[in-house]
Amino acid sequence: MKSVGNPLQVSRFLRVYDDAAAKRGIRLSIGFDFHEYVSITRSLPTKKPTYPNFRPDRSPLKLGEGYWMIGTDKNNEVALVEAARVYDLSHTNLAEHLESLKMFYAEPAIHAHPQDRCTCMAPSAKKITGKVAYHGDFWLRKDFRGKGMPKIMAGILRGVSFSMWTPDFVIGLAERWLLDKGVLAQYGHAHHELSGSILQLVEENIIDDDLLVWLTGEELRRLVDRHDNIDFVLAS
């Protein structure tokens, strides 16, 4: 039986990141109603449309299977959003989940376009199984960039996902420019491989060739337990 996380240690871990966001003028909050989340994200003029993973009309999430976070500024205007959900891949693996389009649609046979397809060429994707937490739909308003917010955003999601699910893996799909510009390093992903998701979703107007990024469950546990973020907060 997998041991559960230490709630007190998780709260300390999250408090550091929450305080760091507050010092930058951001108030963080978490929600579970994805109808509300889609309503919020649609009102953000510079954000790309939310992928079907987090849209109830294409991929409904039961309570406890996902959550989202927003950050608001001093004027109560949205400055950042991101979302997370958990997949049960105990009888499959991430590569199969992607290529079947079940990563994006609860029922691909009903919701996918005949020309929709996904190819996963990242070798490690076939080894990613069990309880898998997916973090995505990151958006940060332009005036808050360059202030260390990516690490804060990633830290909050990791702490909350660990406390809710103690997953076997935490994964993301990232655009190549995030690696080239050094932004990916700010998120603190331990591993990445190219062509994790070569994706075409016709009706969503999505064409991607994204990196697969991930942490193992043990790496996530060590990150929370050793309070790895202290040096960052002191430096800030």
Report CA 132 to chain centroid distance, whole Å.
11
Examine residue 139 and state whether it is found in any structural domain, yes or no. yes
Per DSSP, helices labelled H in 46-93 are none
> Judging by beta carbons within 10 Å of its beta carbon (0-12, 13-18, 19+), is residue 118 exposed, middle or buried?
buried
Examine residue 1 and state whether it is found in any structural domain, yes or no. no
- Give me the amino acid identity at 179: L
Examine residue 214 and state whether it is found in any structural domain, yes or no. yes
Task: Work out how many domains the chain is built from and give that number.
Answer: 1
Cβ count near 207 (within 10 Å): 10
| Structure confidence at residue 4 as a pLDDT band (50, 70, 90) | low
Residue 227's domain comprises: 7-235
Examine residue 200 and state whether it is found in any structural domain, yes or no. yes
Mean pLDDT of 23-27: 97
pLDDT exceeds cutoff 50 at 222: yes
Examine residue 2 and state whether it is found in any structural domain, yes or no. no
**93 token code pair:** 């693996």
Examine residue 165 and state whether it is found in any structural domain, yes or no. yes
SS3 74: coil
> What is the CATH classification number for the domain harbouring 62?
3.40.630.30
**Closest CA relative to residue 10, chosen from 226, 189, 190:** 226
pLDDT > 90: percent of the chain: 81
